[in-house]
C-alpha cells in the first residue's frame, strides 16, 4: 500500500520561481544551501507555466526496473524509493530512466540522491 499522505504539490499560478523550496531541500537533505544539490527542482516553462521535478511515487517505478544491481527499491508501507548505497554502482541508469527527474547524481556523490518528499 502506498502512502498518499506524504506529498508535495505545486500551485503553478502562485509560484514565483524564487527557488526557496530548492534551497530548503538542499539544507535539510544535504546540510548546505546549494540549489544544485536539491532533490526537487522547479522549472519555469514560460511566463505562466512552472513544473516541479519530484518523485511521483510511481506504481511501477522506472528507476527500480533500470537498476542492474537491484540497489533501488520501494520502501515497504511508505511507497518511497530508497537506495542501498552498498549495492549501488552509481551507473546513473536510474537517473536516466526516471521520467520525473526525481533522481540526481552529481560529482563527489557515490549514490544518486532521490527525492523522498
- Torsion angle (degrees, nearest 10) of CA 18, 3, 56, 19: 10
C-alpha cell at 44: 519555469
Map out the domains of the chain with their CATH numbers: 9-53 (no CATH), 55-117 (3.30.70.20)
For residue 25, the SS3 value is: helix
One digit per residue, the tens of pLDDT, for the chain of length 117 reads 344 456 677 777 788 888 898 899 899 888 889 888 888 888 888 877 888 888 888 888 999 999 999 999 987 767 788 899 999 999 999 999 999 888 988 888 889 988 877
Instruction: Give CA–CA dist 73/62, Å, rounded.
Output: 11
Rounded to two decimals, the pTM is 0.77
Please report the DSSP string for 52-102 in residue order: EE-----SS-HHHHH-TT--EEEPTTT--EEE-GGG-----HHHHH-TT--
Amino acid at each position: 500500500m502506498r502512502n498518499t499522505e506524504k506529498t508535495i504539490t505545486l500551485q503553478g499560478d502562485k509560484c514565483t520561481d524564487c527557488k526557496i523550496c530548492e534551497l530548503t531541500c538542499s539544507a535539510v537533505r544535504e546540510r548546505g544551501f546549494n540549489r544544485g544539490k536539491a532533490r526537487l527542482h522547479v522549472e519555469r516553462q514560460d511566463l505562466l507555466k512552472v513544473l516541479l521535478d519530484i518523485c511521483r511515487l510511481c506504481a511501477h517505478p522506472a528507476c527500480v526496473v533500470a537498476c542492474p544491481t537491484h540497489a533501488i527499491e520501494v520502501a515497504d508501507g511508505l511507497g518511497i524509493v530508497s537506495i542501498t548505497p552498498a549495492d549501488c554502482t552509481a551507473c546513473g541508469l536510474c537517473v536516466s530512466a526516471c521520467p520525473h527527474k526525481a533522481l540526481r547524481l552529481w560529482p563527489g556523490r557515490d549514490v544518486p540522491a532521490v527525492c523522498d518528499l
